[in-house]
Structure 1
Amino acid sequence: MVGMGCHNPPVDTSARPGRATALRMEGRLHVLRELHAGRIATRAELTTRLGLSRASALEITARLREAALVHEEAAPPDGRRGRPTTLLLPHPEGPLVCAVDIAHETWAVAVVELGGAVLARTTGHISSREADSVLNAVRHAVSGQLDEWGQRVRVLSVSVPGTVCGTRVVQASNLRWRDVDLSVLADLPVLAGNDATLSGLAESRRGAAVDADVALHLKIDVGLGGILVVNGAPMTGATGGGGEFGHLPFGDPRRRCLCGAHGCWDTEVDGRALARLAWQEDSAEPRAAAQRVLAAARSGDPAAARAVDSVARAFGRGVGGLVNALDPRLITVSGVATDLLAAAPESFDTAYRAGLIAFQRTSVPPVRASALGEDGSIIGAAETGFDHVLTESGITAWRAR
């Protein structure tokens, strides 16, 4: 099985093809990646964007059609003189990725084609957070999609709210999972990643951070997670724990976190903090608690408004510290973080700017709300799946299926 977030084994180069063959493969992969990213849509754009001759573009697209990777259709007339171009589209029998999003209360399984379009989607509610119960339900849904789409599905890519190494969930504190193997979900190559990491990847490729070379993403759900994305690649660290920003000691050192540490930032910024500050409640359901407090604040409840203001300041101070340490071009936020910024923008902004070192204040990295919302993690999982498919080995396996 294949995983994300841990050291990869050395690559065997003993049987690599000749240089000319390799260059042709790389050219086709470049076209497929540009098509998948939405940066080309016609053969004319292929020639201009990639600097190809018309003959080379014809040859590459012909090979991709033969391999059931790309389909071409005549573009609608645009009133211009000259020969009309053709649209480049995913092949109707082309490769697919099965993407899974396991959250705290729900799960979703989607089948995605080249270019990111979702062809099918199944969802379910999590009644028991026991790993076996959740994985059995997801495995059944995945099996149904594989029965429908067959060998077109090349990889299963899974998003989970926890620390991931390879295909194993090392720790998902809020689900109470430890050392859970996700490779049991399908007899396919399996990839796995943290939900906030994959949300950040999706924002950098298809969302609010597409124009940034270095982007920081932060997601508040049950706790806080995120990722630094550099040139479209998430910085997941040596063992997959990169981006566990919620467990930085930005909180009260007397308060114990579910992860086993004390003083985690998690405990100051999610629904647990909002309920504690507003009504002195200990909440077992942080998402629901966050929405209750935010709604009460909007309705004029002074205690709820003070809690929202306090949590927005705690979030802003932490974001300032991360900007000092990581130097991103911009920050994107999702989940409850988006609601906090909307509810208390001045409190957040004041705390954020106060936490920045002097040179960062001359050009403050902007903070943007997610463009993808709750779909970010499953979109990121699909992106990771296509990173696996759109490789020399992935295309070779596709052609040999």
Structure 2
Amino acid sequence: MGLTPTGESPAMPQLKTSADLRVHNQTRLLRAVHDADEPLTRASAARALGFGRNTAAALVGELEAAGLLHEAPAGASGRGRPTTLLLAHPHGPVAFGADIREDSWTLAQIELGGRLTELETGEHDRTPRVFDDILRATRRHATDRLASLGIAIAGPIHDRRRLHISHLGWDEVDLDEQIGGDWPPTVVDNDARLAGLAEARRGALRGTGTALHFHIDFDIGGTLLLGGDAQRGAHNIAGEFGHMPLTDSGHRCMCGAQGCWSLDVGTNALVRRSGREPGYGAGRELAREILARAEAGETEAGRAVDDNAIALGRGLGALANALDPEAITLSGLGLELIRLRRGLIEHACAEGLMKFRRARPPRILAGTVGEIGPLRGAAEIAFDVALNAEWLRARL
């Protein structure tokens, strides 16, 4: 695969020449344009990066000539010199992001500035053959503009190579065997971690120093973000909060551990409450039906959702004691839980907090990126390749 989870090469060269400095500044400019929450003007980019007017003009001109950036007139805004905006070049680089759910997959394209366009979606057979589906879809949509591919997947990836998805029965799936030399440059990362990264770059956690994000689908996964950077741990598997015994569950998890938090939060927990055996990527529609019945006032469905929300809040309180986040965001099924049971989640969280923390509990927020968080995060780490000095130098 050849890339780190941030899409960068493992080592960044030191700036030794004026050419190195120029490429470094061009990279900074492209990163600023990409990360901005609205299009930048040349002047605003120069101010943000500390460039002089002439330097900014030269950098923009060089990047436009290379087909990496486009400067276009803004809409008329009254008297004075016309304003121009820094935008994606129509022939500039793009990256693909793929989100592999337990039962389906989605492929999307991202360009400079963050515009995300869904390309294709499909179902799969819940085996690693889904990687073949992703490769075929990538080939159907790829052009010579494609820089790289990022993939979000619902399981830990040990040492960035060995994939485990316990509730699909995937154990020690070797990504080097699934992603070969006929693939574009590809980086794979955990879905919850990428959803958190998406919130830090594009959503409710933008500018937050210490935060937790949890993506809830069949079960719950999360990530700790420090300064917008998702923490990965020594073996790239940090953040498996769902496999901590935070709620005294009496069940044994398919991961092999006893009493995992994920047994009480998410689709699988709702399916189990309905009397069915969860696992293997089944039950999504049933869970949504239970949520709808709970919202309509059905007692038994309401109790199932209550239990899910209480378990979620209890776990958040325990983790807040340990990690001291400023804010906690939720995505996936978490958006529905916080919409339907915010008060219950916050109360259970507060009950689990140490007494001195209760006056200023962490904010619990609905993620604003939404259910596409893992897809957005996968696309972002893929596009990071085009914001790398080594990649840029080869194209100037």
Query: TM-score, normalised on structure 1?
Result: 0.90
Structure 2 unaligned spans of 5+: none
1:385 matched to 2:395: no
Report the alpha carbon displacement of residue 389 of structure 1 after superposing the two structures with TM: 2.2
Q: Which residue of 2 aligns with 1:276?
A: 272
Q: 1:185 to 1:205 in 2, by over 3 A?
A: farther
Q: Aligned ranges for residues 96-175 of structure 1 at < 5 Å?
A: 96-119=94-117, 121-126=119-124, 128-132=125-129, 134-146=130-142, 149-150=143-144, 152-165=145-158, 168-175=161-168
- The 2-side partners of 1:394 and 1:165 are apart by 27
2:285 equivalent among 277, 288, 304: 288
Partner of 1:242: helix, strand, or coil? coil
Q: Give the 3 Å change call, closer, same or farther, for CA 202–185 of structure 1 in structure 2.
A: farther
Q: Secondary structure at the match of 1:269?
A: coil
What is the CA-CA distance between 1:269 and the residue it aligns to? 1.1
Q: Which residue of 2 aligns with 1:298?
A: 295
Matches within 5 A, 1:48-87: 48-81=47-80, 83-87=81-85
* Deviation at residue 99 of structure 1 after TM alignment: 1.1
Residue deviations 1:350-391, cap 9 Å, x none? Answer: 111111123432322111112122211111011111222211
Supply the distance in 2 between the matched residues of 1:177 and 1:355 (Cα, whole angstroms): 34
Query: For 1:257-278, what per-residue CA distance to the aligned partner results, in whole angstroms no more than 9, with x for missing partners?
Result: 111111100101122322434x
Deviation at 1:218, TM superposition (A): 0.5
Q: Deviations over 1:33-92 (max 9, x none)?
A: 1100125521121223223221111111111112211111222331143x2232111111
Q: For 2:353 and 2:174, locate their aligned partners in 1 and report how far apart those are by CA, in whole Å.
A: 39
Q: Which has the higher contact order (CA 8 A, sep 6+)?
A: 2
Please say if 1:368 is aligned against 2:371. no
Q: Alignment partner for residue 174 of structure 2, among 171, 180, 185? A: 180
In the alignment, which residue of structure 2 is the partner of 1:247?
Answer: 243
Cα distance change, pair 341–303 in 1 and its aligned pair in 2 (3 A): same
Match in the other structure for 1:36: 34
Cα 1:167–1:121 shift into 2, 3 Å: farther
Matched residue pairs, number? 389
In 1, Cα distance between equivalents of 2:337 and 2:288: 10
Q: 1:177 to 1:283 in 2, by over 3 A?
A: closer
Q: Shift of residue 321 of structure 1?
A: 1.0
Change in Cα spacing, 1:288 to 1:374, as seen in structure 2 (3 Å) is same
CA RMSD of aligned residues (A): 2.2
Of 338, 355, 358, the residue aligned with 1:358 is 355
- Report the Cα distance in structure 2 between the residues aligned to 1:9 and 1:267, rounded to whole angstroms: 38
Residue 231 of structure 2 corresponds to: 235
Q: Distance in 1 between matches of 2:181 and 2:259?
A: 35
Q: 1:340 aligns with which of 294, 318, 337?
A: 337
- The amino acid across from 1:364 in the alignment is P
Q: Distance in 1 between matches of 2:308 and 2:375?
A: 28
Name the CA distance, whole Å, in 2 between partners of 1:143 and 1:289. Answer: 34
Q: CA deviation at 1:286?
A: 4.2
Shift in CA distance, 365/249, structure 1 to aligned 2, threshold 3 Å: same
Change (3 A) 1:116 1:185: farther
Q: Conserved in 2, the CA contact under 8 Å of 1:201 and 1:233?
A: yes
Q: Distance in 1 between matches of 2:159 and 2:287?
A: 32
Q: Which amino acid aligns with 2:270?
A: L
Cα separation, partners in 2 of 1:167 and 1:158, compared to 1, 3 Å: farther
Describe the SS at the equivalent of 2:395.
Answer: helix
For residues 347 and 118 of structure 1, what CA distance do their matches in structure 2 show? 34
Which sections of structure 1, spanning at least 5 residues, go unmatched? Answer: none
Q: What's the CA shift string for 1:248-305, capped at 9, x where partnerless?
A: 112446411111111100101122322434x443334243332222122223221221
- Once the 2 structures are TM-superposed, how far is the Cα of residue 10 of structure 1 from its aligned partner? 6.6
SS in 1 for 2:105: strand
SS in 1 for 2:147: strand
* 2-structure distance, mates of 1:170, 1:323: 28
| Contact 1:248–1:265 under 8 Å retained in 2 | yes
Q: In the TM superposition, what is the alpha-carbon distance from 1:9 to its structure 2 partner?
A: 9.3
Moved more, 66-75 or 162-171: 162-171
Q: 1:72 to 1:3 in 2, by over 3 A?
A: closer
**Cα deviation, residue 176, structure 1:** 2.0
Contact 1:221-1:270 at 8 Å conserved across structures: yes
Q: TM-score, normalised by structure 2?
A: 0.91
Amino acid at match of 2:259: G
Larger mean Cα displacement after TM superposition, 354-363 or 92-101 = 354-363
Distance 1:224 1:120 in 2: 25
Q: CA deviation at 1:104?
A: 1.3
